[in-house]
Amino acid sequence: MSEVAKKEIRVQPICSGTVIDHITAGQALNVLKILGITGTSWGIVSILINAPSSYGKKDVVKIEGRELVSSEVDKISLISPGATINIIRDYDVREKNQVGIPSHVEGVVKCINPNCISNSNEPIESKFDVDAGEGKIELRCGYCERVICENIADHLL
Amino acid sequence: MSFEHMHIISMKEFTRDMIDHVLEVAEEMEPIARSKSSSDLLKGKVLGVLFFEPSTRTRMSFEAAMMRLGGEVLSLGSVDASSVAKGETLADTIRVVAGYSNAIVLRHPMEGAARLASEFSAVPILNAGDGAGHHPTQTFLDLYTIKRESHLEGLKVALAGDLKYGRTVHSLCYALSLYGAEITLVSPPELSMPSEIIEDLKKKNIKVTEESSIEDAIQDVEVLYMTRIQKERFPDPAEYQKVANHLQITPEVLKNAKKNLRIMHPLPRTNEITPQVDETPYASYFDQSFYGVPIRMALLCLVMGVFE
């Protein structure tokens, strides 16, 4: 093991907010995208990418001063079904939950079919039914029925 | 069983009982469609006809169905001469036309258009084709043709031609699977049936076999459903010609066919069925285009609630 890997990675604990742990390695920036956190967002956001964990590598996102609502959490499950959500108050973990895979999502993903009506200038949001059978997530467009089963993060709105 | 206010978007929304009911109502409508009796079942009703793409049979048979039942037809006419040309969204067009009519028949070049229309319409939407998506009234008329000219239960059917892009054959396969069909597929390798559809059929215990020649396929089948192979699918015109000739139906090809074979085609055809076949007892494709009228009469009556 190299010297770099041996060093412990330290990120300051947060006083209150949300820690999203066990994010699939490499998906942290997509988690921020889902949550609408950009470079101009207010508040402290800490990101760990490829942090060592007991199961290999993981990403972690800590958001100061914001408790996620369930609909935001569910969207994260599309790209990281193993993520856990920790709600922090006064430096204590008050709630710890695994993300739940929603059966339906709206306005989260763009349909891969360029000829789908949801990709035109109509006053609608994209919508997908989510199938999480056999450990693999598939999204079926509610308009054209095209299925997205790979690289879902590439199609996030 | 009530179909009132129901949108007709895709065959997947229909159970076998529902399909059977539509076919039964169509049978009652057939004498009216043949002008043997008259009806004013849809008198005072207006059908909004929105075709954003060209069509002959679908559009005219919907209009004929409405007129045969005493109803009126209100057409968008040319897209270029409508507000669509000014950039109006489909959602707005639908809301406006829904205010003028009792049902809307819609053909649109984009997949999912009919589903979107159903979300904005106060009246039933009948999907007359949405891009490469669904065309359920075509499937209904195909099933009705098979019922009238052959039989639906346990049908031995061959589907030939472009099985990859042909939306008609995909939803027909699904519908026939409800009746326990045995399906033979005949197509050039580049236009073969998508494997996920074959897998789906097999999961439903449907016997599916693939043949390379029409002659081999038709010896044992009761219906041959032919589709058009489009030239633009082939980068090389010579390759297209080779495939087109290989899958052409001629009286010679039909030498070993069963006597009760019926040949269907959604039309328009190009060269895949020679005109000489029209004179044989096998040809059912012009009957098929006629059956579009009673089946659309049935669907219009059902969704407008004048028939249960």
Q: What's the ipTM?
A: 0.89
Q: Tell me the mean pLDDT in the region B274-295.
A: 97
pLDDT above 80 (res A42): no
* A140/A121 Cα distance (integer angstroms): 20
pLDDT above 70 (res A9): no
> Is residue A69 domain-shared with residue A124, that is, in the same domain?
no
Position A55 scores a pLDDT of 80
Q: Tell me the mean pLDDT in the region B283-296.
A: 98
- Chain A residues with CB inside 8 Å of B90's CB? 117, 120, 122
8 Å CB contact of A117 and B111: yes
How many domains, chain A? 2
> Is residue B199 domain-shared with residue B244, that is, in the same domain?
yes
Mean pLDDT score of chain A, rounded to an integer? 87
Q: What percent of chain B has pLDDT over 70?
A: 100
Which domain range does residue A76 map to? 3-98
> Is residue B113 domain-shared with residue B236, that is, in the same domain?
no
> Is residue B178 domain-shared with residue B104, that is, in the same domain?
no
Q: Using CA of residue A98, residue A101, residue A102, residue A103, what is the dihedral sign?
A: negative
Nearest chain A Cα distance for residue B166, angstroms:
16
* A139/A157 Cα distance (integer angstroms): 14
> Is residue B282 domain-shared with residue B295, that is, in the same domain?
no
> Is residue B119 domain-shared with residue B163, that is, in the same domain?
no
8 Å CB contact of A124 and B116: yes
Nearest chain B Cα distance for residue A143, angstroms:
4
Q: What percent of chain A has pLDDT over 70?
A: 92
Domain of residue A31, CATH code: 3.30.70.140
- For chains A and B, count residue pairs whose Cβ atoms are closer than 8 Å: 49
* B55/B57 Cα distance (integer angstroms): 6
> Is residue B126 domain-shared with residue B210, that is, in the same domain?
no
Considering only the beta carbons, identify the residue of B89, B112, B130 that sits closest to A118: B112
Contact present, B107 and B52 (Cβ < 8 Å) = yes
Question: pLDDT tens digits for B154-204?
Answer: 999 999 999 988 878 988 999 999 999 999 999 988 889 988 889 989 999
Considering only the beta carbons, identify the residue of A115, A145, A146 that sits closest to B110: A115
Domain of residue B80, CATH code: 3.40.50.1370
Within 10 A of B180 (CB to CB), how many other CB atoms are there? 14
Across the beta sheet with A56-64, what order do the strands follow?
A45-53, A56-64, A17-24, A84-89, A92-98
> Is residue B266 domain-shared with residue B184, that is, in the same domain?
yes
> Is residue A30 domain-shared with residue A81, that is, in the same domain?
yes
Question: How is residue A149 written in tokens?
Answer: 């089963």
Contact present, A77 and A22 (Cβ < 8 Å) = no
> Is residue A65 domain-shared with residue A90, that is, in the same domain?
yes
> Is residue B295 domain-shared with residue B238, that is, in the same domain?
no
- Domain boundary pick from A51, A68, A98: A98
pLDDT above 90 (res B263): yes
Position B1 in a domain? no
Spatial CB neighbours of B93, under 8 Å, sequence gap ≥ 6: B50, B76, B82, B83, B84
> Is residue B103 domain-shared with residue B144, that is, in the same domain?
no
Question: How is residue A144 written in tokens?
Answer: 């054209």
Position B185 in a domain? yes
- Domain boundary pick from A59, A80, A98: A98
Position B4 in a domain? no
Confirm whether B7 is a catalytic residue: no
> Is residue A93 domain-shared with residue A112, that is, in the same domain?
no
DSSP element (H, E) containing A76: helix A70-79
Nearest chain A Cα distance for residue B273, angstroms:
32
How many domains, chain B? 2
Nearest alpha-carbon partner for B65 in B101, B26, B92: B26
Continuous H helices in chain B: 16-33, 57-68, 90-98, 113-120, 136-149, 167-177, 195-203, 214-218, 237-246, 285-303
Question: pLDDT tens digits for B60-75?
Answer: 999 999 999 999 999 9
Q: Tell me the mean pLDDT in the region B108-135.
A: 95
pLDDT above 70 (res A4): no
Position B5 in a domain? no
> Is residue B212 domain-shared with residue B182, that is, in the same domain?
yes
Position A6 scores a pLDDT of 52
Across the beta sheet with A127-131, what order do the strands follow?
A104-106, A127-131, A138-141, A147-148
> Is residue A15 domain-shared with residue A91, that is, in the same domain?
yes
Quickly state the pLDDT bin for B55 (edges 50, 70, 90): confident
Nearest alpha-carbon partner for A15 in A46, A42, A48: A46
> Is residue B283 domain-shared with residue B299, that is, in the same domain?
no
Q: Tell me the mean pLDDT in the region A108-125.
A: 95
Collect all residues from B whose CB is shorter than 8 A from any CB in A: 87, 89-91, 108-113, 115-116, 119, 130-133
Taking CA–CA distances from B133, the nearest residue in chain A reads: A144
Strands A84-89 and A17-24: antiparallel
Collapse the DSSP code of B139 into the 3-class scheme (helix H, G, I; strand E, B; otherwise coil) and give the result. helix
Nearest chain B Cα distance for residue A128, angstroms:
12
Spatial CB neighbours of A149, under 8 Å, sequence gap ≥ 6: A136, A137, A138, A139
Within 10 A of A76 (CB to CB), how many other CB atoms are there? 24
At position B213, the amino acid (one-letter code) is S
Which domain range does residue B253 map to? 137-288
> Is residue A69 domain-shared with residue A39, that is, in the same domain?
yes
Domain of residue A150, CATH code: 2.30.30.20
Collapse the DSSP code of A155 into the 3-class scheme (helix H, G, I; strand E, B; otherwise coil) and give the result. helix
Confirm whether B202 is a catalytic residue: no
> Is residue B280 domain-shared with residue B204, that is, in the same domain?
yes
> Is residue A46 domain-shared with residue A83, that is, in the same domain?
yes
Phi-psi category of residue B230: left, alpha or beta, with phi > 0 → left and psi -120 to 50 → alpha: beta
Kindly name the residue from B7, B21, B45, B58 that is annotated as catalytic.
B58
- Chain A residues with CB inside 8 Å of B84's CB? none
Nearest alpha-carbon partner for B182 in B213, B221, B147: B221
- Exposed / middle / buried, residue A12 (Cβ in 10 Å: 0-12, 13-18, 19+): exposed
